[in-house]
Amino acid sequence: MHPLNWARFGLLAALWGCSFAFIKVSLDAFAPLQLAFGRLLVGALVVAVILAVTKGGIPDRAAWGHIVVASVFGNVVPFTLFAVGEQHTTSTVAGVIQGATPLVTLGLAALAISTEKPTARKVTGLVVGFLGLVVVVGPWRAEGFGSVGGQLACVGAAVSYAVSFVYVRRFIAPYKIPALAVTAGQLTSAMVITGLVTTFGIGWDLPGELTVKPLLSLIVLGGASTGIAFVLMNRLIADAGPTTASGVNYLVPVFSVVVGAVALQEAVTWNVPVGGAVVIASLALAEGRVLRRTQAPPAPAATPARTAVAQKTG
């Protein structure tokens, strides 16, 4: 991967990892759907400003249907479900659960993209990763279904993100639309959809007191962890593919655990880091990183004939 994409990769992990703490604080004033709309509104405005400054264009008319679908799976559903989930669980657990997104992406990409077929290694990694996710959720604990239900909402959000990764690569990337234009269309579509659902669903009466702290959290969540983050994400999907791009979730749990523990003083039970480590190990196995590191490099060919054979079989 190009060094510039590695920089995008790291920045995206930091922005998304911190987003769970911002969600937690914003929920002091906003309901989940209101929170989702607010972050989409701010994110769309930030991207619109960037688009105007860079004199970028809007997506092709033919791609708008796909962009709307991507906005549902990549923004409306996960933003709402993570907010719902964090009403019943910690930001730390929510961030670790998002770390399972690449597992689902691997499976979906194998089904939807011809160049990413399943292998025994990938299937094994998916199974191990699922077990790690079960450890993170910890259904045997005594908090009751309220906590587990919130964590399952976060699992649903992670699955929705995975669907969007694959959908963007499969149906939007072939249009060769700049990532900034895709992000602008995606966030705008999601904002309109979420606004309509909120208006005709729960309404706009805030469940909590609107103070400076949740308002600032919402603004940062929308501007940085939504607007800028999704520009980075769509660029990574276009340049490196959905599986590699979704691998940013390797690092998201690290940021979410650190920020949750330091900024929000959230307790971290043993099953969260243990399950998270299992998920990360399963991802490394599924992508072949462990095998590539342990395999010895091939011996150099001694003759032209051997070189030709090596080229045919390599």
d(CA 55, CA 180): 11
- What's the one-letter identity of residue 79? F
Contact indicator for 134, 80 with CB cutoff of 8 Å: no
Q: How many CB atoms lie within 10 A of CB 113?
A: 15
284 within some domain: no
165 within some domain: yes
273 within some domain: no
CB-based burial, 229-247: b 16+ in 10 Å, e otherwise = bbbbbbbbbbbbbbbbbbb
Alpha carbon separation from 79 to 19, 20, 58, 167, 288 (Å, rounded) = 11, 10, 24, 17, 31
Contact indicator for 28, 208 with CB cutoff of 8 Å: yes
232 within some domain: yes
269 within some domain: no
pLDDT of residue 141: 65
pLDDT of residue 248: 78
Contact indicator for 122, 286 with CB cutoff of 8 Å: yes
Within the chain, which residues score under 50 in pLDDT? 144-145, 291-314
Contact indicator for 243, 106 with CB cutoff of 8 Å: yes
pLDDT of residue 80: 97
The tally of domains found in the chain comes to 1
230 within some domain: yes
pLDDT of residue 154: 93
Contact indicator for 74, 160 with CB cutoff of 8 Å: yes
Backbone dihedral angles phi then psi of residue 264, each to the nearest 5 degrees:
-110, 0
Range of the domain at 258: 3-99+141-264
pLDDT of residue 68: 97
Residue 3, exposed/middle/buried by CB under 10 A (0-12, 13-18, 19+)?
A: exposed
Token pair recorded at residue 148: 């587990």
Nearest C-alpha neighbor of 36 from the set 44, 162, 167: 44
238 within some domain: yes
Q: How many CB atoms lie within 10 A of CB 265?
A: 7
pLDDT of residue 285: 81
Say what the pTM is: 0.80
301 within some domain: no
pLDDT of residue 312: 42
Token pair recorded at residue 123: 């299937």
